[in-house]
Amino acid sequence: MRKIFFLALRNTMRNRRRSLVTLAGITLGVAAAILAQGVVAGIMGMIGSVMVDGRVGAVQVHKKGHLQADQDALNFAMDFDPAMLQKLKNIKGVRAVSPRLSFEAMLGNGSQSTQANVAAIVPASETAVCINRFGNVSGAPLVPTSVAEGVLGSALASGLDGKPGTTLQLLASAPGGRPNMLDLRVAGIAAPSTAFEDKRSVTVPLAYAQELLNLPGKITEYAIGIDDVEAADEIAHTLQTQLGPQYQVVSWLDLLPQLRSIFGVFRSVLRVNIGVLMMLLLTGVANTMVMSVHERVREFGTMLALGVRREKILWMVLAESTFLGLFGACAGGGVGLLATYILERNGLQVRAPGGEIPVTLHPHVALVAVAVTLSIVVVVTLIAAIGPAWRASRLSPVEALRSV
> pLDDT: is 316 or 250 the higher one?
250
Confidence of residue 170 (pLDDT cuts 50, 70, 90): very high
Burial level of 17, CB count in 10 A (0-12/13-18/19+)?
Answer: exposed
Q: Map out the domains of the chain as residue ranges.
A: 2-50+260-402, 65-244
Per-residue pLDDT reduced to its tens digit, 320-370: 888 888 888 999 999 999 999 998 888 777 766 655 566 778 888 988 989
Mean pLDDT on 271-298: 83
Residue 268: count other Cβ atoms within 10 Å of its Cβ.
10
Helix axes 257-295, 367-393, angle to 10 degrees: 30
Which of 203, 210, 204, 155 is CA-nearest to residue 180?
210
Name the residue with higher pLDDT: 210 or 10: 210
**Contact (Cβ atoms closer than 8 angstroms) between residue 28 and residue 332:** yes
> Is pLDDT larger for residue 404 or for residue 233?
233
pLDDT digits (tens, 9 = 90+) for 187-207: 999 887 666 667 789 999 999
**CA pair distance 130, 323, nearest whole angstrom:** 50
**Predicted pLDDT at 100:** 96
d(CA 300, CA 127): 73
**Which range has highest mean pLDDT (3-7, 55-59, 193-197)?**
55-59
Cα(149)–Cα(170) distance, integer angstroms: 11
Give the confidence band of 177 by pLDDT, cuts at 50, 70, 90. Answer: confident
Q: What is the chain's mean pLDDT, rounded?
A: 86
Find the mean pLDDT for residues 215-235. Answer: 92
Asked if 98 and 193 touch (Cβ cutoff 8 Å), the reply is no
Chain segment 69-106, per-residue pLDDT in tens? 877 788 899 999 999 999 999 999 999 999 999 999 99
Which has the minimum average pLDDT: 137-141, 205-209, 314-318?
314-318
Q: Are 185 and 152 in contact (CB under 8 A)?
A: no
Going by C-alpha positions, the residue among 90, 133, 126, 152 that lies closest to residue 223 is: 126
What does the pLDDT average to over 390-403?
75
Compute the C-alpha angle 188/193/195, nearest 5°: 115
Q: Specify the pLDDT at position 205.
A: 96
pLDDT of residue 306: 80
CA-based nearest residue to 60, from 158, 155, 130, 117: 130
Structure confidence at residue 351 (pLDDT): 67
Whether 296 shows a pLDDT value over 90: the answer reads no
- Are the C-beta atoms of residues 308 and 400 closer than 8 Å to each other? no
Over residues 28-48, the pLDDT tens digits come to 989 999 999 998 888 888 887
Q: Evaluate if pTM is beyond 0.85.
A: no
Measured from the Cβ of residue 106, the count of other Cβ atoms closer than 10 Å reads 15
Q: Which helix (H) or strand (E) holds 194?
A: none
What pLDDT, on a 0 to 100 scale, did the predictor assign at position 323? 85
The predicted pLDDT at position 292 comes to 79
- pLDDT tens for each residue of 108-122: 988 898 999 999 999
Query: Phi/psi at 60 (nearest 5 deg)?
Result: -130, 145
What is the β-pairing status of strands 179-190 and 137-139?
antiparallel
DSSP element (H, E) containing 80: none
Task: Give me the pLDDT at residue 1, please.
Answer: 60
| 217 has pLDDT over 90 | yes
What is the Cα–Cα distance from 74 to 64, expressed in whole angstroms?
12
- Report the percent of the chain where pLDDT is more than 70: 92
Instruction: Say which range, 80-94, 157-171, 211-225, 254-268, has the weakest mean pLDDT.
Output: 254-268
Residue 283 pLDDT: 86
What confidence score (pLDDT) does residue 5 get? 66
pLDDT at residue 127 greater than cutoff 70: yes
Per-residue confidence (pLDDT) for residue 126, from 0 to 100: 94
